[in-house]
């Protein structure tokens, strides 16, 4: 079986990590909120809903240091939009500590939205200043705030004044290669009361292309007196520890790698503790997907579940022999039951060592006989 986790497109240099890896995995404080492990689940639009956050937390044995929601519009939140309210939902017994990320540009509405977040029971409210999507930027939110430093400072100051929970800010390295201003923006945000900064090491114009620049993460961490979390291109536990060892970042944010490998935070905990990495079996993956399906069913109608499943399945099966065929069959499924017919057969065959036989029977020409 091929390794299910994608390797980094740009492998990091071999680094002799300290014998005591716990020195790299120190907790940090966001105001009064203690983050026990410096590994953060990234906010991903359309991905990190409550079901996904709980799936990752359970798969990783409750070792995620901080969970962050997908971003929520301050317009929708303050106007009682149903979709925004659903994005705010979380399980307080599993999803802790929880940061709710909000986005927008209006100062009064941002403060009002933060109050709603605080009243809902979140431990932290995070302001998104990194989203590069044109529909967000055109309205003055997301990465556009990187070009509006004074306005952003007022936005943060008003939000801090509105709530008693910590306010944090997620930024990019800058707007473009000609405007890399993360240090200046971070200093303005901290001056206005932000208690943590997350830096994605790409500019807005890069979108998600090229390599993340961790030198700018390090520069920000050295320039401000609050914890800085770095984000970008962390795909393995070893890479997460490498970034902590070679920068002053207090934490590392993991995003797309957690879709491919929801066990990654538990693997990090094992690596730090000196425990051998436990192989992830087909049964483990099938159990996780079933649990994810059941959690989705708690909040979304049946017809919407296959779409959510396809997103997770597409990432989780990369690198598997005949994974492409599974994706083809599952992606065409119209119901959850039909999708799981293919998923269950595939992962049972993975553990039995009979994937080739499964593929022979699953090809369209065989099914249509």
Domain range list for the chain: 21-273, 282-367
| Those residues with Cβ within 8 angstroms of residue 29's Cβ, 6 or more apart along the chain or in another chain | 35, 227
The pLDDT, as a whole number, for residue 15 is 60
Q: 3-state class of 229 per DSSP?
A: strand
The single residue of 129, 131, 179, 189 carrying the catalytic annotation is 131
Nearest partner of 283 among 344, 233, 236, judged by Cα? 344
Nearest partner of 49 among 338, 298, 336, 268, judged by Cα? 298
Range list of H helices, 205-363:
214-223, 237-246, 256-260, 264-273, 282-297, 305-316, 323-331, 336-352, 355-362
Active site residue 189: no
Residue 335 to residues 55, 110, 329: CA-CA distances in angstroms? 21, 39, 12
The pLDDT, as a whole number, for residue 24 is 92
Q: State which fold the 21-273 domain adopts.
A: TIM Barrel (3.20.20)
The pLDDT, as a whole number, for residue 82 is 87
Backbone angles phi and psi of 345, in degrees to 5: -60, -40
Distance between terminal CA atoms of the chain? 29
Digits of tens for pLDDT over the chain (369 positions)?
333 333 444 555 556 677 789 999 999 999 999 999 999 999 999 999 999 999 999 999 999 999 999 999 999 999 999 889 889 999 999 999 999 999 999 999 999 999 999 999 999 999 999 999 999 999 999 999 999 999 999 999 999 999 999 999 999 999 999 999 999 999 999 999 999 999 999 999 999 999 999 999 999 999 999 999 999 999 999 999 999 999 999 999 999 999 999 999 999 999 999 999 889 999 999 999 999 999 999 988 998 899 889 989 999 999 999 999 999 999 999 899 999 999 999 999 999 999 999 999 999 876 655
According to DSSP, the β-strands at 33-35 and 39-41 are: unpaired
User: Angle at CA 53, nearest 5°, toward 80 and 247?
Assistant: 110
């Amino acid at each position: 079986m091929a390794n299910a986790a994608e390797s980094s497109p740009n492998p990091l240099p071999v680094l002799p990590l300290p014998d005591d890896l716990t020195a790299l995995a120190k907790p940090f404080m966001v105001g009064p909120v203690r983050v026990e492990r410096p590994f953060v689940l990234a906010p991903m639009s359309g991905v990190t809903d409550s079901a996904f956050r709980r799936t990752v937390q359970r798969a990783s044995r409750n070792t995620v240091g901080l969970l962050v929601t997908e971003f929520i519009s301050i317009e929708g939140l303050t106007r009682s939009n149903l979709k925004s309210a659903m994005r705010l939902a979380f399980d307080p017994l599993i999803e802790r500590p929880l940061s709710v990320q909000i986005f927008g540009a209006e100062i009064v509405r941002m403060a009002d939205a933060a109050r709603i977040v605080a009243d809902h029971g979140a431990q932290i409210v995070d302001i998104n200043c990194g989203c590069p999507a044109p529909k967000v930027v055109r309205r003055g939110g997301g990465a556009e705030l990187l070009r509006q430093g004074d306005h952003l400072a007022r936005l943060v100051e008003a939000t801090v004044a509105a709530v008693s929970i910590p306010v944090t800010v997620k930024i990019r390295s800058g707007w473009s290669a000609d405007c890399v201003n993360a240090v200046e923006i971070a200093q303005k945000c901290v001056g206005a009361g932000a208690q943590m900064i997350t830096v994605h090491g790409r500019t807005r114009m890069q979108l998600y292309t090229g390599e993340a620049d961790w030198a700018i993460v390090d520069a920000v961490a050295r320039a401000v007196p609050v914890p800085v979390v770095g984000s970008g291109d962390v795909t393995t536990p070893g890479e997460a520890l490498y970034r902590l060892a070679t920068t002053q970042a207090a934490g590392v944010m993991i995003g797309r790698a957690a879709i491919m490998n929801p066990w990654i935070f538990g693997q990090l905990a094992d690596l730090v503790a000196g425990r051998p990495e436990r192989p992830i079996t087909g049964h483990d993956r099938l159990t996780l997907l079933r649990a994810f399906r059941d959690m989705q069913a708690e909040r979304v109608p049946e017809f919407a579940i296959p779409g959510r499943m396809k997103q997770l399945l597409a990432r989780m099966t990369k690198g598997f022999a005949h994974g492409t065929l599974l994706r083809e069959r599952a992606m065409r499924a119209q119901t959850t039951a039909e999708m799981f017919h293919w998923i269950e057969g595939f992962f049972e065959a993975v553990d039995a060592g009979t994937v080739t036989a499964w593929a022979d029977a699953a090809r369209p020409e065989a099914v249509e006989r």
